[in-house]
Structure 1
Amino acid sequence: MEPVAMKKDKVLLVEDDYFFSKTVKCFLERVDRFEVHLAADGQSAWELFKQEQFDICLLDVVMPKMDGFSLSVLIREVNQDVPIIFISSRYLESDRIMGFKQGGDDYLVKPFSFEELRLRMNIFLKRSKGQQFDISTTYKFRDYTLDMKWFTITQGEHIETIFPKEARLLQLLAENKNRLISREDILVTVWGAADFFSGRSLDVYISRLRKRFSKDKHVLIEAKRNKGYILQIVDGI
């Protein structure tokens, strides 16, 4: 009886340095169960992404035709959950922060260890495949309704689709309304680990949620310095 072949994780590697990309591809396919697809610029990568279903994306930042940040924004418009790791020679803190704001999950600065890249990839793949949330519930915030099945927030006749992680974060806050939730508990529950990169992502999503409820002074997400967050509904849910 033939052994059943294990499904390989499909990787989109976007890198304009041919020899570097080929080296990364050979390493990943040799040491782990990856199927790596290469693209040399952002535009060709976007065309490839629209045709294939990838499990994870590795994006260079500075590339011809379309940079990695712009590509990440396009990817997030159609897929909010696929892990995105930026691999770049740009090391400034502002570049890292921009990467997270544009939808990235991690940011590696060249040169880096290929083994570290592989381990980080496996961490994000486990997170993206292993999160378990109740999707049958809706939550009411005064005039707002969060629908966990469709990842939407409805206010009157206005319906807005939000990122799944944003919805899951709001769901966790709602289930613990008027109670302090520590940053660590939020990160472990929603992101799977309380590390630096997940913390940056949490800050971005908290900012997004505050903007969504900014017109209603009765819906507040308060931060307790170095402790965590509290969702407060002044007149109740």
Structure 2
Amino acid sequence: MDNINLLLVEDEPFLAKVVKDSLEQLGYCVTHAADGRKAFSLFQNHVYQLCIIDVMLPHTDGYTLAKQIRAVGSLVPVLFLTARTTTNDVIEGYQSGGNDYLKKPFSLEELYLRIAELLKRNSGNNIRAESAVRIGNYLFDPNSQTVKLGNSEIQLSFRETQLLKLLYDHKNAVLERKTALILLWGDDSFFNTRTMDVFISRLRKHLKSDPNVHIINLRGIGYKLVI
């Protein structure tokens, strides 16, 4: 695990020490920050392969920190640690740029597995290398995470960008629901399925001005982006 640098943002001293020490024993290099403001300063000046972020933080909360990380164009995976696990909380976490959610209290073994999975999934993440593409009358730019129609521009979240890119890669063909869930969420649980449905609805709203662009729901199978 040489040169795998993790940023741990946790304001509870005992938990932070336990997590940091445990991860370092596995060979990770872990930098700890106790508040969101310090964490973003560290992020701007160092390279990390993954960020582990508590939601409830002093100065800058975890959701805002994740948005700041995404705003500078970084695709580094973000794993939220939090006791806030209502549907709206989780959706807000994904909308802010999070990749996964781990509910407190959690086992260290589960944390290890989540970290390993996120690092594995991110190793092939190349959204930033993609060129802007046409989706009907829209110009979709994965780099800037936007869709443009004339002089109008819609800013997408990181998760919306990932999902729309996946739909575009399968345009006019079926994107299986399970495939999308595994690639973007890591598993095809019922909860993640409901969360993805929310993001599909948001993408439909973003693309509604072009009547020739449709995201079709194939019940029990998946989705199809028809251009």
Q: Which 10-residue stretch deviates more, 147-156 or 11-20?
A: 147-156
> Of 11, 22, 28, which aligns to 1:27?
22
Q: 1:124 to 1:136 in 2, by over 3 A?
A: closer
Q: CA deviation at 1:64?
A: 1.5
Letter aligned with residue 191 of structure 1: L
Q: 1:221 to 1:202 in 2, by over 3 A?
A: same
Map 1:204-215 to 2 at 5 A: 205-215=199-209
1:228 corresponding residue in structure 2: 222
CA contact (8 A) 1:14 1:59 kept: yes
Where 2:11 maps in the other structure, the secondary structure is coil
Separation of aligned partners in 1, 2:83 and 2:166: 36
The alignment-based identity, stated in percent, is 39
TM-score by length of 1: 0.79
Q: 1:90 to 1:200 in 2, by over 3 A?
A: same
Letter aligned with residue 25 of structure 2: R
Q: Which 10-residue stretch deviates more, 21-30 or 168-177?
A: 168-177
Letter aligned with residue 102 of structure 1: S
2:116 corresponding residue in structure 1: 122
Give the root-mean-square deviation of aligned CA atoms: 3.0
Separation of aligned partners in 2, 1:144 and 1:125: 32
1:3 corresponding residue in structure 2: none
Map 1:86-235 to 2 at 5 A: 86-131=80-125, 139-146=133-140, 153-156=147-150, 166-167=160-161, 169-188=163-182, 190-191=183-184, 193-196=186-189, 199=193, 202-203=196-197, 205-233=199-227
Superposed CA deviations along residues 166-217 of structure 1, whole A, max 9, x for unmatched, are 45543443344333322012234x4374333764664454244323312212
TM-score by length of 2: 0.82
Separation of aligned partners in 2, 1:195 and 1:116: 17
Q: CA deviation at 1:91?
A: 3.9
CA contact (8 A) 2:97 2:159 kept: no
Q: CA deviation at 1:45?
A: 1.2
Where 2:123 maps in the other structure, the secondary structure is helix
How many pairs does the alignment contain? 226
Separation of aligned partners in 1, 2:48 and 2:198: 24
Q: CA deviation at 1:80?
A: 4.6
1:14 corresponding residue in structure 2: 9
Q: CA deviation at 1:46?
A: 1.5
Q: Please say which structure displays the higher CA radius of gyration.
A: 1
Q: Which 10-residue stretch deviates more, 138-147 or 95-104?
A: 138-147
Superposed CA deviations along residues 21-68 of structure 1, whole A, max 9, x for unmatched, are 01110000002x311111111111121111112111111111211211
Q: 1:209 to 1:80 in 2, by over 3 A?
A: farther
Q: CA deviation at 1:120?
A: 0.5
Q: Provide structure 2 residue ranges, at least 5 long, that are not aligned to the other structure.
A: none
Q: 1:165 to 1:60 in 2, by over 3 A?
A: closer
Separation of aligned partners in 2, 1:21 and 1:122: 19
Q: Provide structure 1 residue ranges, at least 5 long, that are not aligned to the other structure.
A: 1-5
